[in-house]
Structure 1
Amino acid sequence: MVVTADHNDVLTTKATRVPRVDDGVRKLMDDMVETMFSANGVGLAAPQVNVPWRVIVLRVENQIYQLANPEMVRCEGDQTGPEGCLSVPGLVGDVTRCLRVVAKGVNRHGKEIRVKGDGLLARAIQHEIDHLDGILFTSRAVEGSLREIVKEEVPDVVTAV
């Protein structure tokens, strides 16, 4: 799979709900995880690989999360920090997000689950759900915080979500 660049309309269009998790959706999830690992990302949304479905995958602290039709259930506190995006390479900006979240969705087995997270996991969940709603992190960045980065700077910022 190839990560879609920020000029593609699929990234600014609301994604379609997945009617049910079947073998095709599971294959998509697996392919997205592989693509996320290859790109050294923290998360990936289906629109980022040119698939207009509400599917996200995340990797935080060696834990993999795969969700279809994710929705935010609870959002508490604030955190502001740097974000990047695999679909917007070379750009980073400070974004204010909820510090703690609970999201619900359907796992790869078709069961509804809830994912609780704080810090980076909370940030990644919100970032990927934004992708499903056609929102890029650049539109949420604190005014004046967007900046170009060079490859050598990447360890100093949050890995692209």
Structure 2
Amino acid sequence: MAIQPVRLFGDPVLRTRATEVTDFDAELRKLVADMTDTLHDEGGAGLAAPQIGVGKRVFVYDCDGFSGHLINPTWEAVGDEDQFGKEGCLSIPGFGWDCRRKLTVVAHGWNMHGEPVTVEGSELLARCIQHETDHLDGVLFIDRLDAETRKQAMREIRAASWFGEPEPTVKTSPHPMFGKAR
């Protein structure tokens, strides 16, 4: 499996709605494996496919004792209660701000083999599910901050040493793949 570079704030792929997965094939399984390796290498709680430059509705998670992946996820709140707490993002490294999310959610989707999956768990997992699903819709967690906190967040992001770095160069094999996953 391969660790992929994480796209940073400012990359247009992070603001583009990802497309539905329709093929549950070896290429998808490789994507999930690469995303899981990247997540673990980065030390994150979740990672959405757009964060590695892939516009597909896929995310992986490993937080609070829960780990796995969801393809074409949807979620629904359980109750009306919210949680408010610090949130960060691998695409906005080194920062975190308080963000409001639903306290409890249940997510539905599919695994990499096309089998239906339901995920529910802790408050941290609920936050992760909402955060990663937002990524699939082209929404970043800073969009969910109150106006004053968002202004401060944008000032801090613009001052970050990584802000404005060029997109990573993604190399592809010059050899024909004959329909096989890389």
TM-score class, shorter:
0.7 to 0.9
Q: Is the 8 A contact 2:73 2:108 kept in 1?
A: yes
- Alignment partner of 2:125 out of 92, 103, 121: 121
Alpha-carbon distance between aligned partners in 2 of 1:81 and 1:100, rounded to the nearest angstrom = 14
Tell me which residue corresponds to 2:146: 142
Question: Higher strand fraction: Structure 1 or Structure 2?
Answer: 1
> Do residues 11 (structure 1) and 14 (structure 2) align?
yes
What is the aligned residue count? Answer: 149
Q: Is the 8 A contact 2:77 2:102 kept in 1?
A: no
Alpha-carbon distance between aligned partners in 2 of 1:127 and 1:61, rounded to the nearest angstrom = 15
Tell me which residue corresponds to 2:112: 108
Tell me which residue corresponds to 2:47: 44
Q: Can you list the C-alpha shifts for 1:15-48, whole angstroms capped at 9, x where unaligned? A: 0000032111111001001000000000000000
Counterpart residue identity of residue 46, structure 1: A
Alpha-carbon distance between aligned partners in 1 of 2:115 and 2:76, rounded to the nearest angstrom = 17
Q: Is the 8 A contact 2:20 2:56 kept in 1?
A: yes
Q: Is the 8 A contact 1:93 1:142 kept in 2?
A: no
Question: Relative contact order: is structure 1 or structure 2 higher (C-alpha 8 Å, sep ≥ 6)?
Answer: 1
Normalised to the residue count of structure 2, the TM-score between the two structures is 0.77
Q: Is the 8 A contact 1:98 1:123 kept in 2?
A: yes
Alpha-carbon distance between aligned partners in 2 of 1:46 and 1:120, rounded to the nearest angstrom = 20
Q: Can you list the C-alpha shifts for 1:36-73, whole angstroms capped at 9, x where unaligned? A: 00000000000000000000000013432111100113
Pick which of 83-92 and 25-34 moved more: 83-92
Greater C-alpha radius of gyration: 2
- How far does residue 111 in structure 1 lie from its aligned partner after superposition? 0.4
- How far does residue 89 in structure 1 lie from its aligned partner after superposition? 1.3
- Alignment partner of 2:24 out of 21, 26, 29: 21
> Do residues 95 (structure 1) and 99 (structure 2) align?
yes
Counterpart residue identity of residue 66, structure 1: H
Q: Is the 8 A contact 1:80 1:96 kept in 2?
A: yes
What percentage of aligned pairs have identical amino acids? 46
Counterpart residue identity of residue 58, structure 2: V
Compute the RMSD of aligned alpha carbons. Answer: 1.6
Tell me which residue corresponds to 2:69: 66
Q: Which runs of 5+ in 2 are unaligned?
A: 158-182
Q: Is the 8 A contact 1:101 1:118 kept in 2?
A: no
Tell me which residue corresponds to 2:173: none
Alpha-carbon distance between aligned partners in 2 of 1:69 and 1:134, rounded to the nearest angstrom = 14
Normalised to the residue count of structure 1, the TM-score between the two structures is 0.87
Alpha-carbon distance between aligned partners in 1 of 2:142 and 2:76, rounded to the nearest angstrom = 24
